[in-house]
Amino acid sequence: MNKSSSHDTENSNLVHYDLKEITKTSRIKRLISKWLSITLPLLLGVFLIVYSYNKFSPEQLAEIKSYFRNANYNYIYLSVFIAFLGSASRAYRWKYSLEHMGYETSFANNFMAVSIGYLMNMTIPRSGEISRALIVKKYNNIPFDKGFGSIVAERIVDMMVLLFFIVLAFFLQFDIVKAFILDKIPLEEAFYILAAGMVLLIISVLVYYYSTLGIVLKIKEKISGLKEGIMSVVRMKKKGAFLFHTLVIWTSYVLMFYITIFALDATSSISFGAVLTSFIVGSIAIAATSSGFGTYPVMMAKILVFYNISETVGTAFGWIVWSSQILLVVFTGVLSFLLLPVFNRKK
């Protein structure tokens, strides 16, 4: 009996040790994954900055600096103000999804959550959506899955609007868009990328519907918790007000970009088609990386070349536009971090 008891204790200790090791390994993997998600986009941005500026001669760099000095920043200030109004409209729009589910939130909390979300997206891509849901969970007692679901629903609507602009630009600027895409991705590579994406999508759908793995079942459970939030847009009574603010948000996005072209004489005369195409390229650069760090100015310079704007002008323009918007994000985000607990002292 003593030997058996000792053996059982030893096995128990081994199991406990194995669990500790598994937990430790899991934590290390999560930590590595977290830091990679932060550092890789930043490293990409740094690489693109170094790569692009190494191409410029000292004379061209001096020319870029002159554009910074001589820019009319009154247009940039106006653009930043319009961007601020767009963020306010986004915060106000959010309340309609939450109200439909029976939750009340203040405009101040929504605005600060949106501002913090933008700031968080500068560190870990897409972490802003999670932080928004966590904030209303903490201060408004809204379940995380429902709050996050409402944000996903917003993103779906926004993606549809962006897709509309992409299609519009494709038809209005077909030759430019075609030349730009083929310049960056050869037709054969584009076909392979599309085919690989379709295969992965089909595999993902089959795994989701037919797999009985624990992790897949957990994902299904989480997705089911998002449905109410996502469907809030479809079923809400105030769809008209929600769509109106969606229009305000995207009008502010396009308008704030359009106004910035007048900051430099060299870009002030470009067509609306050029503005629309450049706006889309910039939006994709911001969405695909850590708020467009390094990528936004580079991509802006590349697309404007197709409209006979020199790369030095495009680079300066891209940095001026990107920097002004990022300063707004940092200012409102940090201020919201400080004021959020003050506005919710009782909670």
Q: Do 337 and 273 share a domain, yes or no?
A: yes
Q: What is the pLDDT at residue 287? A: 78
Q: What is the pLDDT at residue 191? A: 64
Q: What is the pLDDT at residue 182? A: 57
Q: What is the pLDDT at residue 279? A: 92
Residues of the chain with pLDDT under 70: 1-55, 125, 174, 177-194, 208-233, 290, 347
Tell which of 10, 27, 55 closes a domain: 55
Task: Please tell me the pTM assigned to this model.
Answer: 0.74
- 322 CB-near residues (< 8 Å, 6+ apart): 282, 292, 296, 297, 300
pLDDT tens digits, residue range 229-245? 566 667 778 888 899 99
Q: What is the pLDDT at residue 72? A: 95
Q: Do 112 and 175 share a domain, yes or no?
A: yes
Q: Do 250 and 196 share a domain, yes or no?
A: yes
* Structural domains in the chain (count): 2
Q: Do 266 and 283 share a domain, yes or no?
A: yes
State the amino acid at position 206 in one-letter form.
L
Contacts 24+ apart (CB under 8 A), 319-324: 319/68, 320/67, 320/68, 320/71, 320/76, 320/260, 320/263, 320/264, 321/76, 321/79, 321/257, 321/260, 321/282, 321/296, 322/282, 322/292, 322/296, 322/297, 324/76, 324/79, 324/80, 324/260
Q: What is the pLDDT at residue 62? A: 86
| Nearest in space to 118 (alpha carbons), one of 77, 90, 146, 78 | 90
Give the DSSP per-residue string, 275-310: HHHHHHHHHHHHHHTTTTTTHHHHHHHHHHHTTT--
Q: Do 199 and 289 share a domain, yes or no?
A: yes
pLDDT tens digits, residue range 126-151? 788 889 999 999 998 888 888 888 88
Q: What is the pLDDT at residue 10? A: 53
Q: Structural domain of residue 12, as residue ranges?
A: 1-55
Tell which of 55, 74, 93 closes a domain: 55
Q: Do 62 and 207 share a domain, yes or no?
A: yes
User: What are the helix and strand counts (H, E) for the chain?
Assistant: 13, 0
Q: Do 122 and 14 share a domain, yes or no?
A: no
Q: Do 294 and 246 share a domain, yes or no?
A: yes
